[in-house]
Amino acid sequence: MLLNIYNTEEILTKLNTLHKDAKPLWGKMTPQHIVEHLTFSLQMSTGKNPQRLHFADDVAEGIKRKIIYSDIEIPEGVKNPVLGDEPPPIVHPDMRTANQNLLAELEHFHNHYKENPEAKNMHLRMGLLNKQEWTIFHNKHFTHHFKQYNL
């Protein structure tokens, strides 16, 4: 079942069960990496952290059709073109701060698209996405990483 990024209470409940020392079912990112990674994607979706497209337009369109316009889940182990083989450095001093920042960016996402309903922002793999497409992506992306930690 997909998470709904508009259900902040459910997301907060799941985040509160995520212990900083939890081990993932796959991948190398720690719980705090995951929270900061989800925050990064929210910032990307509102233009706070603009990105460039890392694929040819036809490849990006194919990825978009597969991820946004199908019921497919984001597969385990999919590589982010911006990340290397190792997780990036931790940004926040602790999980609590990272979680608070994630929730603030979720609120910013909701407000951004309420105030700018026609806005489109660049996804680094799928090109320009509108509010509906970003919402689908975030729902799948949050679900993917929460499953990584069995949340």
CA dihedral of residues 40, 42, 48, 49 (deg, nearest 10): 30
User: What distance in Å separates the CA atoms of residue 80 and residue 27, rounded to the nearest whole number?
Assistant: 12
Answer yes or no: is 85 within a domain.
no
101, part of any domain:
no
Give the pLDDT of residue 85.
80
* In-domain check, residue 35: yes
Asked if the structure places residue 34 within a domain, the reply is yes
- Is residue 120 situated within a structural domain? yes
CB 41 within 8 A of CB 47: no
Is residue 132 scored above 90 in pLDDT? yes
Q: What is the pTM of this model?
A: 0.95
Please count the CA atoms within 13 angstroms of the CA of 50 that sit on its side-chain side: 2
Total structural domains in the chain? 1
Q: Would you state the pLDDT for residue 78?
A: 82
Query: Does a structural domain hold residue 89?
Result: no
**Which residues contact residue 59 at a Cβ distance below 8 angstroms, ignoring those fewer than 6 apart?**
none
State the average pLDDT over residues 133-149. 97
Q: Tens of pLDDT along 15-54?
A: 999 999 999 999 999 999 999 999 999 999 999 999 999 9
The residue range of the domain holding 36 is 1-20+27-78+112-151
Three-state secondary structure readout of the chain: CCCCCCCHHHHHHHHHHCCCCCCCCCCCCCHHHHHHHHHHHHHHHCCCCCCCCCCCHHHHHHHHHHHCCCCCCCCCCCCCCCCCCCCCCCCCCCHHHHHHHHHHHHHHHHHHHHHCCCCCEEECCCEEECHHHHHHHHHHHHHHHHHHCCC
Digit-coded pLDDT (tens) for 118-127: 999 999 999 9
Nearest to 5 by CA among 37, 38, 49, 46: 38
In a domain, 148, yes or no: yes
Within-domain flag for 86: no
